[in-house]
Amino acid sequence: MPPTDASAHAAPAIGSDSGDPTDTRPAESSTDVTGEPVATDREAVDSVNTVDTVATDCEDTLDLRLPDELLAFLEEQAGADDGPGPGPGPGGGAAPPLFAATIDHDLLDRVAEWGPVGTPVGTFHLVPVVIERDLPLITRWMNDPAVAEFWELAGAESVTGEHLRAQLDGDGRSVPCVGVLEGTPMSYWEIYRADLDPMARHYPARPHDTGIHLLIGEVADRGRGLGSALLRAVADLALDRRPACARVVAEPALRNTPSVAAFLTAGFRFSAEIDLPDKRAALMVRDRSLRHLL
């Protein structure tokens, strides 16, 4: 929120004389029957002006405005309070807070509702991860040597599970998904708010920048253009479903030349080399304004 210029609303200085500035006559004074001085008409006017000025100063406030995302959350919470509350949580305890159930909608505009999209390689759907259903499959993909070299999540299910739960239990700034092509799970994705991610410290982030992480799970699906086609489809899906987002970004390792090439083929442009804590990366950007040209 831009700061408000309080000086634009400032009142006259306390004690300023509102009389004729050309009047240089000394103020008259008088006394009552007890000999005590009595305020003249001119002094009374000055006293009233001083009170009015103080009152004006007290009424001068900053024009504060809550962020749109917070206002939307408060409206949603108020609507929920008008009707039946959420049911009990597992084991009969209290249900999870409403905030935990809705914040992901606020930050990434309901990834679960983005729906299927047609692509040159078939109908594709991003499906948010469910640990109980998807952990074994994603763990197997993470243990593929070609994937583990860059994701560094090889090991038992607990390793991948911890990585997934950190997102699912977080504030909704990152949503892990399984990519389903023509009904078959074949890739893992992370859709995240790059402007709210630690990555934002390392590049000139803009509000609502949306980031993408991707891995193609099956060896047979690699090296035949699926990655580029799906990257383009998902980037454009994010731009379509997130009106406030002006660009989609990614940061593959600079040494991962197949990944960088896939992003270029998908209509991303190479923006810069950036140093992240765990790698030197290529900052790839797909701009809303250029999406029909690249």
Does position 48 have pLDDT exceeding 80, yes or no?
no
- What proportion of the chain, given as a percentage, has pLDDT over 70? 64
User: What integer is the mean pLDDT of 186-206?
Assistant: 97
User: What integer is the mean pLDDT of 229-246?
Assistant: 97
Q: Tell how far CA 146 is from the center of its chain.
A: 32
- What proportion of the chain, given as a percentage, has pLDDT over 90? 63
Does position 97 have pLDDT exceeding 60, yes or no?
no
Contact 177, 200 (CB under 8 A): no
- DSSP lists the bridge partners of residue 184 as 181
User: What integer is the mean pLDDT of 110-115?
Assistant: 94
pLDDT at 104: 39
Does position 41 have pLDDT exceeding 70, yes or no?
no
Residue-wise pLDDT tens digits, 55-94: 344 333 333 445 565 556 555 554 443 433 333 333 333 3
Residues 6 or more apart in contact with residue 277 via CB below 8 angstroms: 198
Name the DSSP letter for residue 175.
E
pLDDT at 106: 75
CA distance 230 to 225: 9
Of 190, 278, 261, 240, give the one whose Cα is nearest residue 270: 261
DSSP H helices, the chain, are 41-59, 68-82, 98-108, 131-142, 145-151, 157-168, 226-241, 257-265
pLDDT at 54: 36
pLDDT at 47: 44
User: What integer is the mean pLDDT of 217-235?
Assistant: 96
Quick check: pTM over 0.75? no
Does position 223 have pLDDT exceeding 60, yes or no?
yes
Residue 255 belongs to what H/E stretch? none
Query: Between 46 and 273, where is the model more confident?
Result: 273
Q: Residue 281 corresponds to which tokens in the numbers above?
A: 């990366």
Contact 286, 266 (CB under 8 A): yes
Of 172, 177, 179, 214, give the one whose Cα is nearest residue 193: 172
pLDDT at 67: 57
Task: Give the strand pairing for 174-181 and 269-276.
Answer: unpaired
Phi (first) and psi of residue 79, to 5 degrees: -65, -40
pLDDT at 195: 97
- Give the total residue count for the chain: 294
pLDDT at 72: 60
Q: Residue 149 corresponds to which tokens in the numbers above?
A: 């070299």
CA distance 121 to 207: 32
Contact 256, 267 (CB under 8 A): no
> Is residue 294 very low, low, confident or very high in pLDDT (cuts 50, 70, 90)?
confident
CA distance 234 to 42: 75
CB contact burial 153-165 (16+ within 10 A = b; e otherwise): beeebeebbebbe
Phi (first) and psi of residue 134, to 5 degrees: -105, -15
Does position 239 have pLDDT exceeding 80, yes or no?
yes
Return the number of other C-beta atoms located less than 10 Å from residue 10's C-beta: 11
CA distances in angstroms from 180 to 122, 129, 221, 251, listed in the order given: 10, 11, 12, 23
Contact 209, 245 (CB under 8 A): yes
User: What integer is the mean pLDDT of 36-63?
Assistant: 41
CA distance 158 to 4: 50
Residue-wise pLDDT tens digits, 134-189: 999 999 999 999 999 999 999 999 999 999 999 999 999 999 999 999 999 999 99
